[in-house]
Each structure stands twice: as C-alpha cells, then as structure tokens.
Amino acid sequence: MHNQSAPQTASACRDSLSTISEHLSLESFHKLNRACETLHYFGSDLRRHEINGLSQLYTPQILSYVHEDISHVLEELKAKGLCRDFIAPSVNGGEHHV
C-alpha cells in the first residue's frame, strides 16, 4: 500500500513546547514501508497455504530481509537521538530499554 504523496521526511515531536529538529530519512521511511508490506503479504501467504518445504526455505530469508530494514531505521533513530527517552545506559555499558 504505497502512498503517492509520501512525505520526504517524517519528524518527531518531543512535547507541545519543543519540537525535535531531526527527521527520518526518506530511505528509512521507504524501508519501514517495505518491511510493513513484506510482512503483510508474508503473513497472508502463510495463512492461505500450508507450510511445506518451500516456505521453510524462504521464511528465514524474508525475516532476515525485514530485520535488516528495521535495524537500519532503528540505528538511524538512535543516532539522531530520537530514542533517547526510551534507552537508558546500562551498568555494563550497553543499552537498557525502558
């Protein structure tokens, strides 16, 4: 389901007093849409057809493909600081999701 008038960027608003000036890139916007469409059709296909050897071959590839797209978008959001309210520093130096 593609929208012909898709925005060039998607912005995030922190609260009613201050707006975050960072935007989601067009590439990440397309990756999110592609992941959404892929999973929609993948789920529909799994419901319509019985699971067989062929689906066992393509399922890991599809999920890997979607993982790459979503990971790209998440890393961009983290790099732009748009996830800082949801990620707290961990004791061991990694990330802790709140």
- Compare 9 and 96 and report the one with higher pLDDT: 96
> Structural domain boundaries of the chain?
25-97
Give, in degrees to the nearest 5, the angle at Cα 7 between 33 and 29.
Answer: 30
> What is the per-residue pLDDT across 2-52, written as a single tens digit (0 to 9) for each?
444 444 455 555 555 555 567 889 999 999 999 999 999 999 988 888 878
Q: Lowest mean pLDDT: which of 33-42, 50-59, 63-72, 78-87?
A: 50-59
CA distance 88 to 70: 21
- pLDDT recorded at residue 90: 66
- Cα 8 to Cα 21, 26, 32, 35, 45, distances in angstroms: 14, 6, 14, 18, 31
CA distance 31 to 84: 22
> What's the confidence (pLDDT) of residue 46?
86
